[in-house]
Amino acid sequence: MPPKPRSWLQYWRQDLQRTPGRLDSSLRIAFASVLVLVAMMVLQIPFIAYGLYVIFIIGHDNPAVSLRTGVATLCSVACVLSIAFIVVILTDNDPIARILSLAAMTFVAAIIATSTSMPALGPGWGLIYGVAIGLWENHAHADRLVKNSLWLLSAFSIGIAGSIAVEYVFASRSPADKLAGQLRLRYRALATIFEAYASDSTDQQRWTAAEDVSRLAAAGERGMLELYSQIVDRDLESGGLPIGVQLHITLIAELLDSSAAFGLQSDSTDPDLQSRCRIIAEQCSHLARELELAPIPELELKARGSAGLTHLDRIESILRSLQAIPCAEGDPHPNLVALPSKNLPLVIPGAVWKTENVVFALKISLCATICYILYHAVDWPGI
């Protein structure tokens, strides 16, 4: 049985415990924010909030992706400001034209967010156009409004430059070793939980081990995939990484999910279950050391219907899939080639015209237009 319920403060402290990559990313974002803030205050550039906002869009564990996203974001900001100028000039700053253009631009922003390989550009596109066209709601001289728009572009430029600089300075010098460490960390946690279920551990010990695995499962595979993309982008040696590492990352993410579900739901002390857990624990310990799976004749599964599979059955099945990855040189899946980030297509084929994406874009456009009208109707700056 699980231990007695804990307070919300205990759960909050548990959620804030360290997970792979969390501390590094947080420190990079904090340092970039301070750097950009100081630079903008020294240069006396307004719109500081937007310069800091873009850091959260640009920041990635992969400097190449950060650079690509930063350049694309800067180009999109310049494009959005140009469109705002064109709308104002061609319509003589007509209020209805401003509102209709906002609806159209936020629709495009939502399509960008759902249909491209850089979804972060979408929110920035819509936000900047709302700010840029909103400047023309003020009763001020046109020269001053144009200068404010250019200051907005400057704020984004400083934020983008600072974020990219920090990413390159603090980029991992050996992403292959770091990725191997993250894989080993996960396998050690898996070995711990199954050792707890294979022995006469207390419920509290089992529950604690299950929570550790659950936290790693919640961290997901994104951090590992970004490290892998660094290796591909920079054409680095894979070092001690296993063959088919991309498939390996996907399978370990599934293994963590199933193991967390097993650990948080199972309270059985059945001898057969303990025997199966002991075999799994041994294999996870071996994986933590070698990152390759030894032959496991004991994990041959009996034929079962999909409806009858338990969490433990799925875990054994995933381990068999890991075992099936060849332990020899060569790509086990030659058709599944990891592309460098620069070779990824910008527009996802077929995504622009998908009904659900268009409906989502219409919802976002309507919401943004209503908010824009209410904001300027209330005339309360800052809300």
CB-based contact 341:68 (threshold 8 Å): yes
- What is the 8-class DSSP label of residue 240? T
Of the pLDDT bands very low, low, confident and very high (cuts 50, 70, 90), residue 101 is: very high
Residue 303, judged by CB atoms within 10 A of its CB (0-12, 13-18, 19+), counts as exposed
Which of 344, 153, 319, 318 is CA-nearest to residue 233?
Answer: 344
- Percent of the chain residues topping a pLDDT of 90: 25
pLDDT of residue 90 exceeding 60: yes
Of the pLDDT bands very low, low, confident and very high (cuts 50, 70, 90), residue 27 is: confident
Write the DSSP assignment of 268-334 as a string of letters: ---HHHHHHHHHHHHHHHHHHHHSSPPP-GGGPPPP--GGG--HHHHHHHHHHHHHHS-SSSS-S-T
- What is the 8-class DSSP label of residue 153? H
Residues in the chain: 383
Which range (117-126, 127-136, 173-182, 296-305) has the least confidence? 296-305
CB-based contact 346:118 (threshold 8 Å): yes
Q: What is the pLDDT of residue 157?
A: 93
At a CB cut-off of 8 Å and minimum separation 6, what does 31 contact?
166, 170
Which amino acid, residue 56?
Answer: F
Q: What is the pLDDT of residue 301?
A: 43
Q: What is the pLDDT of residue 331?
A: 45
CB-based contact 330:253 (threshold 8 Å): no
The tokens describing 60, both together, are: 């990635």
Which amino acid, residue 212?
Answer: D
Domain map (residue ranges) of the chain: 21-171+352-378, 175-341
Instruction: Give the mean pLDDT of 272-288.
Output: 86
What are the pLDDT digits (tens) for 169-200?
887 667 777 888 888 888 899 999 998 888 87
Specify the 3-state DSSP secondary structure of 9: helix
pTM for the whole structure: 0.68
3-state helix, strand, coil in the chain (%, to 5): 70, 0, 25
pLDDT of residue 307 exceeding 60: no
What are the pLDDT digits (tens) for 45-75?
999 999 998 898 886 667 777 888 888 889 9
Q: Which residues is 116 bridged to in the sheet?
A: 347
CB-based contact 209:192 (threshold 8 Å): yes
What is the overall mean pLDDT for the chain? 81
pLDDT of residue 372 exceeding 70: yes
Instruction: Give the mean pLDDT of 347-352.
Output: 82
pLDDT of residue 213 exceeding 70: yes
What are the pLDDT digits (tens) for 216-256?
888 888 778 877 877 777 666 766 677 778 888 888 889 98
